[in-house]
Structure 1
Amino acid sequence: MKQKIGRSYIKCRLKWIAAVTGCGIVMTAVLFLNEVPAGEIAYGMLLCLGILLLAVTMDRISYGRRHRELLALRQSITVSLENLPEPGEILEEDYQRLLGLLAEEKMRIWNTAVSEKRDLMEYYTMWVHQIKTPIAALKLLIEEEADIPGAEEPLGADRERLQRQREKRKDEELQQLFAIEQYVNMALSYMRLGSETTDFVLRQTDLDEVIRMAVRRYARHFISKKIVLHYEETGARVLTDEKWLGFVIEQLLSNALKYTHEGSITIGMEEGRLTITDTGIGIRAEDLPRVCEKGYTGYNGHANQKSTGIGLYLCSTILKKLGHSFTITSQEGTGTRVMIGFPEES
């Protein structure tokens, strides 16, 4: 580092050093031509050389000190220009003015971006809350429509067949409506996680109650796909945020149901960790390290056009903010297991 500073100093001051050296040589030649004794010339030149070396040494020390001051400012310069050293010359003052203008422009752009992001967040949050009203209304209309008899209802076996078709259609419509609602909730959670503040409320929570609420929301899907649910109560109370943990469990159940075409899903507690295990198609070994990356869908995600690559990213991010561990193991063709670990205080 010292050699680098020395080379930089010489490069910066080379013109002046060369000019002073040239003047010394010229004066020496003039004095010699005027038959001034060589001893007196040498004595004068030694005095000048000593003064020159002293001046260069002091200037070199000042140059190095200024360099170290600027290096020390690299951490705080991104926040404010107030700690910049006093300019030693007019060019340094000009450079500092330019830096000030750049800092002001940067702050203006940053404030504009923050304001636009805040407005966008407020709009989308309002939209998400408003869209829930027509979703709830549609759900009610679908349920009521299935119960309203037609003008000319058939009798006997035809009536039973028609009723089964209505029930099947109602079930499919409610599942699609549920999917819309889940995507809306996912969008809201994504926006909240990206905001400057979150609404995490950590407290002792009954884990089984959170699990039961999530399972109830997906009961229709279990029945429709004929997937068996194995669930033994954990009896655990954990330190967590009930709402956000519920969202994570719902996302994990959604993934398990999406990629399990037959078999079962098991929810239990092992070594203090909540486990959700399915007998689905599994995850390829090369995809497993990246499944929690934002937007990454992997091979199975490409095969399933409904995959967004956001669900597991949200789960991983939320659990990290809550202080919970998150582990995924899988074998392609056999199934997947996810594990959530809770703080020891739980």
Structure 2
Amino acid sequence: MNKKLYWKNRQAFLLTNFVCMLALTLFLMICGNTVSSIALILILWGFILAIGMGSTYWKRKRQMQVLLTMADQLSERYLISEIMEPPERAEDQVYYRLIKMAGKSMLEQTGIVRRERIEYKEYIEQWIHEIKTPITAMKLLCENHRSEFTKEFLTELEKTNHFTEQALYYARSDYAEKDYSVREICLSDVIHQSIADNKYLLLRNKVKVKISNADHTVFSDDKWVRFILNQLIVNAVKYRTEQPELDFHVRRQGDQVMLDVADNGIGIPACDLPRIFEKGFTGQNGRTTQNSTGIGLYLCKRLCDKIGIGISADSRKAGTSLCLTFRINHFVHEVQN
């Protein structure tokens, strides 16, 4: 509570007391009272006034501080009226009722927005599942009628499937735990599956793929890890050089298994590196690539945080390296052994 403003708001009350004290002094002097008795009365009045106003100030300050502390501890501060005690003062009760009305209105609006978000996400998920059927059908038709045209068409179908998967995982990223199944997976299998998902994209762009030391097992969700690898593969192809290479290397360090995905592309400028996982950030490379959205790496980071995988990036002029870090659960290994 602002001390200066508090006393400024009480200037009228203090002025009224001063006028009353002056009038009482004149009245007592007319009545023939001595100066010492009048001074004693005024000193007593001033003392009582100071004690009363000081105690009122400290009481109000303590009440306001309690309210501010409770508000700071709330994640949804519009619910403050639900936990604060009803005030005793008449004017404070009016503000209390206004806060209750505002909180109720906010709860109603929040409920409406949440229902609309849930309905929209359900619609998006249903639409994506429906659109996958014609995509799969077109892919089968192209594979059964191979030609130069169908090869180009299959590459575009892979891109379409990639964008639909990205939209689906973005919609589900808020509640990843509902679609998360932890089991022991071999990183080599997941890497090969991701390469198969993007085989036409890799073949068309003549990307040389290298896999080394990948026979490590970790506990995670293979579907989510596979999606993250798909994002990294697409980025590597998007920012490729004339002779693109993609290297998957797995190493163990202490109680961690690290999967490095390195390319020899155009790299990421040092000034952009700290922000590449921010939503919508495209950086200098994104300005030269028209189809960059700044969603891919943001979604990778968000999913990694949800499922307990560390992700970091390192870039040089000769390419970029993304590292996925899986923690080894010693307790699980002990139980299995």
TM-score band by shorter chain is: 0.7 to 0.9
Q: CA deviation at 1:214?
A: 0.9
2:31 & 2:69 partners in 1: Cα distance? 54
1:307 & 1:8 partners in 2: Cα distance? 53
The alpha-carbon distance between structure 1 residues 48 and 329, as it changes in their structure 2 partners (threshold 3 A), is: closer
Q: 1:226 aligns with which of 195, 203, 206?
A: 206
Counterpart AA for 1:340:
L
The alpha-carbon distance between structure 1 residues 43 and 335, as it changes in their structure 2 partners (threshold 3 A), is: closer
1:289 & 1:53 partners in 2: Cα distance? 58
Instruction: Return 5+ residue gaps in structure 1 as ranges.
Output: 147-166
The alpha-carbon distance between structure 1 residues 39 and 309, as it changes in their structure 2 partners (threshold 3 A), is: closer
Q: CA deviation at 1:253?
A: 1.5
Higher Cα radius of gyration: 1
1:207–1:234: 8 Å Cα contact kept in structure 2? yes
1:9–1:63: 8 Å Cα contact kept in structure 2? no
Q: Which residue of 2 aligns with 1:70?
A: 67
**1:303 corresponds to 2:283:** no
Q: Which residue of 1 aligns with 2:113?
A: 113
Matches within 5 A, 1:70-109: 70-75=67-72, 76=74, 77-109=77-109
- Partner deviation per Cα, 1:137-189 (whole Å, 9 max, x = no partner): 1112223344xxxxxxxxxxxxxxxxxxxx22111111111110111001101
1:324–1:342: 8 Å Cα contact kept in structure 2? yes
Q: 1:286 aligns with which of 271, 284, 289?
A: 271
Secondary structure of the residue that 1:25 maps to in structure 2?
A: helix
Q: Which residue of 2 aligns with 1:36?
A: 33
1:276 & 1:135 partners in 2: Cα distance? 28
**1:248 corresponds to 2:228:** yes
**1:342 corresponds to 2:326:** yes
**1:257 corresponds to 2:257:** no
Matches within 5 A, 1:199-214: 199-214=179-194
Q: Which residue of 2 aligns with 1:123?
A: 123
2:158–2:200: 8 Å Cα contact kept in structure 1? no
Q: CA deviation at 1:122?
A: 0.7
Matches within 5 A, 1:264-283: 264-270=245-251, 271=253, 272-283=257-268
TM-score normalised to the size of structure 2? 0.87
1:196 & 1:331 partners in 2: Cα distance? 33
1:306 & 1:61 partners in 2: Cα distance? 61
Q: CA deviation at 1:127?
A: 0.2
Q: Which residue of 1 aligns with 2:333?
A: none
2:237 & 2:88 partners in 1: Cα distance? 70
Instruction: Return 5+ residue gaps in structure 2 as ranges.
Output: 331-337
Secondary structure of the residue that 1:78 maps to in structure 2?
A: helix
Secondary structure of the residue that 1:274 maps to in structure 2?
A: strand
Q: Which residue of 1 aligns with 2:162?
A: 182
Q: Which residue of 1 aligns with 2:16?
A: 19
Matched-pair identity in %: 29
Secondary structure of the residue that 1:201 maps to in structure 2?
A: coil
- Partner deviation per Cα, 1:70-98 (whole Å, 9 max, x = no partner): 22232344334133233232211111111
Counterpart AA for 1:17:
L
The alpha-carbon distance between structure 1 residues 216 and 47, as it changes in their structure 2 partners (threshold 3 A), is: closer
